[in-house]
Amino acid sequence: MDFKIEIAKLLDSKIESLNQEEIFGLIEYPKNTEMGDFAFPCFRLAKEYRKAPPMIAGELVEAIGQVEMLESVEAVGGYLNFKINKEVFARTVLEGVLDMGDDYGKQTVGENKKVIVEFSSTNIAKPFHIGHIRSTMIGNSLNRIYKMLGYDTVAINHLGDYGTQFGKLIVAYKLWGSREAIEKNPIPELLKIYVKFHEEAEEKPELEDEARAWFTKLENDDKEAYELWSWFREVSLKEFNRVYSLLGVEFDSYDGESFYSDKMGAVLEDMRNKNVMEVSEGAEIVNLEEYDMTPALITKKDGSSLYITRDLAAAIYRKNNYEFFKNIYVVGSQQKLHFSQLFKILELMGYAWSEDCTHVDFGMVSLAEGTMSTRKGRVVFLEEVLLKAIEEIKKVIDEKNPNLEGKEDVARQVGVGAVVFQELFNNRIKDYTFSWEKALSFEGETGPYVQYTHARACSVLRKADLDYKNEIDFSKLDDKASMDLLRELAKFPKIIQDAGNKNEPSIITRYVVGIAQLFNRFYHDNPILTDDKELTKARLSLVYASKVTIKNGLYLVSIEAPERM
């Protein structure tokens, strides 16, 4: 039973000037639960009824009368406050969780429609650094949220595996590279020669011309250029996949920029036929001035492609191949103009589905000493951060619980979880400065705090020798701590919908922190294993529901939930 819907139905039968959907939209959750579980403001009705809102609220109380699911209906000021019958509420919430078990939160609102989520999109032969955690973890979380809502998702890692930088890398490798050194330590060695290229090119600008020539060879399927590029890609992916494995991130497709290299010709031809492009100083552009955007450069003077050329080909391929309902790009906010141009060009090409493409942007990560720069070699490797966090957790376990079963695995779950939770706790659009101290802090509103709460709930359930899933007396759960926790657990399906509608994983992280806090208050105020068998069963069912909700919430933000800590 969705009590908000039931109250909307009830009011719909008493209010003629509003329909059920309008009433549902007006119903609120009072901040002070002592006032009620739901509140309906009567101010909208004042003009229609030609009465003051408090008087309207009083008349509605009389009209509603006694209702089985309600403990009380009261008029307070211009509001109608509803208190749900505690036993009915506890039964409805807990039977729902007990019935669904680990599937609690799963929904069918997506109707199996296809949703593309493009995220991470790391650059081949460049470091997988701390800055990449944003796109990677926001995207992975959205992929899971949409899947939980019943959409058929496709997770795409649009690899940066094409472009002039590969010409630079080929030149750098031929001048200073060692195959043996790169095989042994791929990314740091490739970064070293890439940085060296930019240092040397400042003195010898002819290196840039040489790099462009090698990229042209690559575009023309030159054997040596292609073999070197393939090798750079292979050794890079091997390194990246080790980090993805640590983070629990999986993709359905690694089709990167290179995948679309043979698909751009048809797109360019289509744009020319539709007169979308014009020639400017030998290059081809789309003039977007009337849409308050700078012109979009589509091909350079020498005919070579750019990011937007490949993105146009990718979007059209995805629509043709997947027939998507939504096409989501999880890319930093500095690319806002790029995606505004991309979507507008698709619209100008006559593709109505351009409005189904969404740029989910986010703020940037910087270092205390300044902005990260691959060209200058100033980066913090993400794997280094994760491994350091795991090591710190190992120390804590060795100190506090040295005999913990599977402590290596728990250290990985908690260490990685701490870093990921910090990343996804704040609104995605906010910039932040990476700090080792913050990343490794486990106090307060953190991943380890929520994980520990889950482990505590598991411990209580292990110790109990009772069937807490059948014949429960829900009237036993009438205290404030139990009711506060139940109210929050009931919101989980709606919280997932909100996170999906706003493409905002922090809604989930903040929710699970709230559940953990309410559970710990309930645990503190109420002995679980008591002499009263019926009371114990009822409280154990609430412990179980809390455990399931925390575990499922953590899963949505790509964090594991250890059963022992």
Q: Which of 4, 132, 359, 476 is catalytic?
A: 132
Structure tokens at 341: 């141009």
pTM score: 0.91
For residue 72, the one-letter residue type is: S
In a domain, 11, yes or no: yes
Look at residues 156, 146, 235 and name the one whose alpha carbon lies nearest to residue 189: 235
Q: For residue 118, what are its two tokens? A: 């493009």
Catalytic residue among 4, 83, 86, 129: 129
pLDDT in single tens digits along all 565 residues of the chain: 789 999 999 999 999 999 999 999 999 999 888 899 999 999 999 988 899 999 999 999 999 999 999 999 999 999 999 999 999 999 999 999 999 999 999 999 999 999 999 999 999 888 888 889 999 999 999 999 999 999 999 999 999 998 888 999 999 999 999 999 999 999 989 989 999 999 999 999 999 999 999 988 998 889 999 999 999 999 999 999 999 999 999 999 999 999 998 899 999 999 999 999 999 999 999 999 999 999 999 998 877 778 899 999 999 999 999 999 999 999 999 999 999 999 999 999 999 999 999 999 999 877 676 655 555 556 788 998 899 999 999 999 999 999 999 999 999 999 999 999 989 998 999 988 877 777 777 778 899 999 999 999 999 999 998 899 999 999 999 999 999 999 999 999 999 999 999 999 999 999 999 999 999 999 999 999 999 999 999 999 999 999 999 999 999 999 999 999 9
In a domain, 480, yes or no: yes
Among 35, 69, 84, residue at a domain's last position: 84
**What mean pLDDT is reported for the chain?**
93
Is residue 109 in a domain?
Answer: no
369-395 pLDDT tens trace: 665 555 555 678 899 889 999 999 999
In a domain, 97, yes or no: no
* 174 bridge partner residues: none
Summarize pLDDT for 472-506 with one digit per residue, the tens.
999 999 999 999 999 999 999 999 999 999 999 99
- pLDDT, position 131: 85
* 132 noted as active-site residue: yes
DSSP type of residue 367: E
Judged on CB neighbours under 10 Å (0-12, 13-18, 19+), 66 is: exposed
Q: How many domains does the chain have?
A: 2
Strand order in the sheet with 38-41: 38-41, 79-84, 70-76
Q: Which residues contact 22 (CB under 8 A, 6 or more apart)?
A: none
Indicate whether 563 belongs to any domain.
no
Residue 2, pLDDT score: 85
Residue 360 lies in a domain: no
359 flagged as catalytic: no
Catalytic position from the list 83, 86, 126, 547:
126
- 533-556 helix and 86-100 helix, angle to the nearest 10 degrees: 60
**Per-residue model confidence (pLDDT) at position 306:** 85
Cα-atom radius of gyration of the chain, to the nearest Å?
28
Please name the residue ranges forming H helices in 179-261. Answer: 179-184, 186-203, 206-219, 223-247
Known catalytic residue at 524: no
**Furthest-apart CA atoms within the chain: distance in Å:** 88
Amino acid 476 reads K
| Residue 479 in domain | yes
SS3 per-residue string spanning 113-132:
CEEEEECCCCECCCCCECCH
Sign of CA dihedral 432, 433, 434, 435: negative
**For the packed helices 132-148 and 382-400, what is the interaxial angle rounded to 10 degrees?**
70
pLDDT per residue as tens digits for the range 339-378 = 999 999 999 999 999 999 999 999 987 767 665 555 555 6
State both tokens at 463: 């110790």
331 closest CA partner among 345, 343, 348: 343
Using an 8 Å Cβ cutoff, are 81 and 39 in contact? yes
What gap in Å lies between CA 103 and CA 98, rounded to an integer? 10
Last residue in a domain, options 43, 58, 84: 84
Q: Please give the single-letter amino acid code of residue 490.
A: A
CATH number at residue 64: 3.30.1360.70
Two tokens, residue 562: 């250890």
Q: What is the CATH number of the domain that holds 552?
A: 1.10.730.10
CA 455 – CA 432 distance, rounded (Å): 30
Which pLDDT score, from 0 to 100, does residue 395 have? Answer: 93
User: Considering the domain boundaries, does residue 174 fall inside one?
Assistant: no
Question: Range of 511's domain?
Answer: 387-556
Which of 67, 84, 101 delimits the end of a domain?
Answer: 84
Residue 359's beta-bridge partner residues?
A: 329
